[in-house]
Structure 1
């Protein structure tokens, strides 16, 4: 497959790029800085310093089979990285005819903000980031692409196991977590064999 990974310089993005290359896919990694990733066989690096640059986003998306977004903000305070990035991605997909989109969000976003202790604590600590994900999800759901929104709980830098649970009604609690490596594993499985079209599955170890 020809994949494009947005947010490829982050933890989940790096894992997705590495596993995608290991599986033999052609991967385009979208990063903000040219030194964010090292060149390697099968990898095309697309430097997009500003995700509102429609021309650069469209160039990265054009001709790909699947778009994966692992975008996430690092800054504190009001943020719109996920919203702005996905808006540009969706516009580019419309213009280029690319259909498949897989996006990393978070449990506790949109309707999964269920009033549980987990959701209340998450939004108390990361309210700005979660509101960015809320808006991002609204854009995706209103689009005409073949989307999947993936909602992990806490992310860990632990080894890849390939063993995890996935489901739209999966119970998520305060101790729930998933490794970035296993999250990447699921993103690539979903890219290869879509099982959650127009769904927002949760994932946890």
Structure 2
């Protein structure tokens, strides 16, 4: 299958690209920074801003499916990256007759998501980090989800929890709407998207993804995903 990966040079996009190539897919890696990706057999690099309709149209032309791992940092200002890119991508897909779309969102997009037994997370980290510091980001994720739901595409909204780096894929689990757990390894997130691309268990609905086999160091996670990225 020939797939377009948006955000291909990002933390999750790199896992997606590598794993997709490893299992035999052709990958169109869509990025604004082409120099950050190493060319190799099966990989085509497309330079595009995901919010630019013309650039997105050219990037998805000739592909069979689109996987988006776009992301941005927390900000006090209004964020539009997710919703604007979703609009550009879905319209381009409709023009080219491409039906399958998998887009990374977040468990936070589910208003009822509260991982069981995670008292410190539910009472402290989630209200402070996700609901306050990440408020504008998650508001735009919800706008993105709403825009995708209005389309006639075969979409899946992929909802990880707290993302962290782990070198290998683990025995992750998925569930409809959102999954019961606090953390998701990026390698597992990528693997879940590629598995769903083949299995189509969550078409036109949301899929939660959780990593149970390993857990990150909380202090290191906050530093790497919050402070260091600034």
Q: TM-score normalized by structure 2?
A: 0.82
RMSD over aligned Cα atoms: 1.6
Q: Which residue of 2 aligns with 1:108?
A: 108
User: How far apart are 1:115 and its partner, in Å?
Assistant: 7.2
Distance across 1 between alignment mates of 2:178 and 2:100:
24
Q: Which residue of 2 aligns with 1:47?
A: 47
Distance across 1 between alignment mates of 2:178 and 2:10:
26
Confirm whether residue 179 of structure 1 aligns to residue 177 of structure 2: no
Q: Which residue of 1 aligns with 2:157?
A: 149
* Conserved 8 A contact 2:4-2:27: yes
- Secondary structure in structure 1 of the residue aligned to 2:163: strand
Distance across 2 between alignment mates of 1:86 and 1:170:
20
Distance across 2 between alignment mates of 1:149 and 1:52:
19
Q: Which residue of 2 aligns with 1:192?
A: 198
Q: After superposition, give the CA deviation of every residue in 1:40-92 in whole Å (9 maximum; x if it has no partner).
A: 111000011x3332221111111211100111113623211111111100010
Larger mean Cα displacement after TM superposition, 135-144 or 184-193? 184-193
Q: 1:169–1:119: structure 2 CA closer, same or farther, 3 Å change rule?
A: farther
Larger mean Cα displacement after TM superposition, 177-186 or 74-83? 74-83
Q: Which residue of 2 aligns with 1:56?
A: 55
Q: Specify every segment of 5 or more residues in structure 1 that has no aligned partner in the other structure, as ranges.
A: none
Q: Which residue of 2 aligns with 1:89?
A: 89
Instruction: Find runs of 4+ consecutive structure 1 residues off by over 6 angstroms.
Output: none
Say which one has the larger Rg. Answer: 2
User: How far apart are 1:203 and its partner, in Å?
Assistant: 0.9
Q: After superposition, give the CA deviation of every residue in 1:113-162 in whole Å (9 maximum; x if it has no partner).
A: 22743754412220011011010000011111000001100111112234
Distance across 2 between alignment mates of 1:165 and 1:38:
31
- Secondary structure in structure 1 of the residue aligned to 2:107: coil
Q: Which residue of 1 aligns with 2:221?
A: none
Q: 1:161–1:63: structure 2 CA closer, same or farther, 3 Å change rule?
A: same
Q: TM-score normalized by structure 1?
A: 0.92
Distance across 2 between alignment mates of 1:170 and 1:57:
29
- Secondary structure in structure 2 of the residue aligned to 1:189: helix
Distance across 2 between alignment mates of 1:44 and 1:30:
9
* Conserved 8 A contact 1:27-1:42: yes
* Conserved 8 A contact 2:107-2:178: no
Q: 1:169–1:6: structure 2 CA closer, same or farther, 3 Å change rule?
A: closer
Q: Specify every segment of 5 or more residues in structure 2 that has no aligned partner in the other structure, as ranges.
A: 115-121, 212-230
Q: Which residue of 1 aligns with 2:134?
A: 126
* Conserved 8 A contact 1:113-1:119: no
